[in-house]
Homo-oligomer: A and B are copies of this chain.
Amino acid sequence: MSLQIEPSLFPFFKPRGVVIVGASQNPTKLGFGLARNLLQSGYEGAVHFVNPKGGTLLERPIYPTIADVPQPADLAILLIPASLVPQGLIACGQRGIQAVIIASGGFRETGPAGAELEDECLRIAQDYNMRLIGPNCIGLLDTHLPLDTTFLPPPGPTPGAVAFISHSGAICAAVIDWARGQGFGLSQLVSLGNQIDVRETDVLGSVAADPHTRVITLYLEGVSDGRHFVRAAAQVTREKPVLALKVGRFASGQRAVASHTGALAGSEAAFEAAFRRAGVIRANTSEELFDWARALAWCKLPQGRRVAVLTNAGGPAVTAADALEAHGLQLADLSAETKNALRQFLPQAASVNNPVDLLAGASPEDFAHSLRHLLADEGVDSVIVIFPPPPMYAAGGIARAIIPIIYAAQKPVIAAVLGERMIQEAVEYFRAARVVEYRFPERAAAALAVLVQRAEYLASQPETPQRVVGVSPERVHHALRQHAGIEEQPGFLPQEVVEEMLTAYGMVTPPLRLAETAVSAAQLADEMGYPVALKVASPDIPHKSDVGGVRLNLLSATQVEAAFVEMMAQVETAVPAAHIAGIHVQRMIPQGQEVIVGAVQDPQFGPMVMFGSGGVEVEGLQDVTFALAPLTRAEAQAMLQRTWAGRKLQGFRNIPAADQDAVVDAILRLGQLVADFPQIQEIEINPLRVMQVGQGAFAVDARARVG
């Protein structure tokens, strides 16, 4: 196990003595609740209370100042007015305390004055080499140590295997209560508040290092340093599953950018890509977060996607089968042996095909025998057992009968016990035995799909992106420098510079020459050979075809000259302010499938590549996918699989198969380019025209923006 508590955070997770600054004798105050929780938690280290009023609290002395507190004391919780926090921190620092939770509110969330106060706190922390959690947070809770530095109303959570790290303090009380209601325990809970120092990424590894923690759940409003988060999470997910609920999906999609790639990226696509890279499983709702955490904490992982459904009720089994298929799982084909064995003791009307329907009268023994046979079938990777309140037997009896079998099994079994009150006894048996149960078949199917996802992730070989060979960063540097002042002046690059960058990174562009007059355009075309295309050359016109700035398939010098004159007039009318350098003449290249390959710098996650259906309709079709750059060949291939544009490259009906390797190569090379040159804000090849297998792909049109 390579996971370890980050040394500077050690006093938060394993304090020898805790000081509560702002402990209160008044039971209606949070400062009382905090003192009470810490004592009631059973924390075995030293507990100290500080309040200038002095006195005693819960049979213990209250020290008037932090300086008065005896040894040991390595973690302080401040629950005092915001304005007093800086001097409290200084006192902690002087006392040698290097870990402080600022529970108090009244900081950045209240306006500029509060933000200044935060900055002051951070300076003090740096002076004393001190780590801070908060402010404006609930603190930290560990059910196994045990330790509870929160002021939440009791009871606290029961000990368990699920850790929760949260940007929202307000949700913590709900999480503790949900956990209790759903019958699972928590290992640790960390509320991070305004995160002036310690952030989600900092605690992730330390929380994962707790041997009691089997699953880490995250409630994220964002991440502070995208790449750092991805690295830290990727390390954790190889050992323990991480589930994340990322909120604030819609707030950030407002960035106005010129390229398709930029408009499509937004932070949602970046988070998808980042979670995928890091092996983090994304929950879409709060309910899924904890549904799935329970399953990951308690279940064995399946060896495959083949599921057997065992039930006394046909209808809900169909619902479950629907949900399984929707999640990409499949109903197992039962072996003849299994079916025969089931027929031996089941009534004739029972179905021994999957879903196995025992009928309403099924006894607990029927469930137990059937489950044993299903688990023994080599074609079955997991089982869902579904039952509504049975008309003839107690639901609890079924639970009791199958729990020992589930325990002994090497395959996961998930229960869907439909109903609420009449099945309560069964639910309690299952929970006591740590068998995962849900009230609805669809939720059981979704949880099983997450187990499969986790198993497949662990089975995949972790790979590190390799540097792409045959690229020349020097040529790109040169091209950018040559275009004088380009690095200072943000905007779209001239076509020649873009072509030079692509060529330097090993991509093939059709020959392109700049013509300033109609006559020279015709001469260039004669030299290249026909057919040719004309494209207006202007850094001020990113979408050339929108303004009549493109002519295709010109077959003769006469056509080229006429098109040149006509285009110039048209473009000058459409965009009078644009600086037009001339018109590019380009040899037309053969027909082929057309895709888009792009790349952007995401503000949170840095360089990312995009791939998908291109053309002018890219925004309408939304058939695109993103990945962090640079990336592995396997990641680039997976991008093809996730899109229709990519799957179509294998050939479809009368569309011949195209050169998939060339596309993968273009994705890898463009990813390397934006990773090497962070000043390239966006670059987009649209279309990349893909020839037949072995014939490569051409960057027919491209543009790039620096900033």
Contact = CB atoms under 8 A, between A and B. Distances in A.
Contacts of A315: 166-171, 219, 221, 247
B652 A286 contact: no
A314 B180 contact: no
A61 interface: no
A421 interface: yes
Interface string A252-283: 00000000000000000000000000000000
Contacts of A109: 349
Contacts of A622: 644
Given A167-B315, A170-B312, A653-B546, A391 B285 contact: no
B171 A391 contact: no
Nearest to A616: B653
A119 interface: no
Nearest to A623: B621
Contacts of A480: none
B318 A443 contact: no
Interface string A55-82: 0000000000000000000000000000
A152 interface: yes
A420 B286 contact: no
A321 interface: yes
A211 interface: no
A6 interface: no
Given A314-B168, A616-B655, A652-B617, A389 B153 contact: yes
Report copies per complex: 2
Contacts of A287: 439-440, 442-443
A319 interface: yes
A694 interface: no
Interface string A174-196: 10111011100000000000000
A421 B106 contact: no
Contact of A30 (B30, B348, B391): B391
Contacts of A182: 420
A391 B173 contact: yes
A285 to B, nearest CB: 4
A623 B622 CA distance: 11
Interface size class of A (residues with CB under 8 A): 35 or more
Given A170-B360, A422-B153, A349 B391 contact: no
A20 interface: no
Given A109-B349, A285-B440, A287-B440, A322 B248 contact: yes
Given A173-B422, A177-B423, A418-B177, A644 B620 contact: yes
Interface string A309-327: 0011111101101110110
A648 interface: yes
A248 B318 CA distance: 6
A582 to B, nearest CB: 21
A311 B168 CA distance: 13
19 contacts: A110-B349, A166-B315, A168-B313, A170-B311, A170-B360, A171-B313, A176-B419, A177-B423, A178-B439, A180-B420, A247-B319, A247-B322, A249-B322, A286-B418, A287-B442, A616-B654, A617-B648, A621-B621, A621-B644
Given A250-B325, A546-B654, 5 more contacts: A177-B421, A178-B419, A181-B419, A250-B321, A617-B644
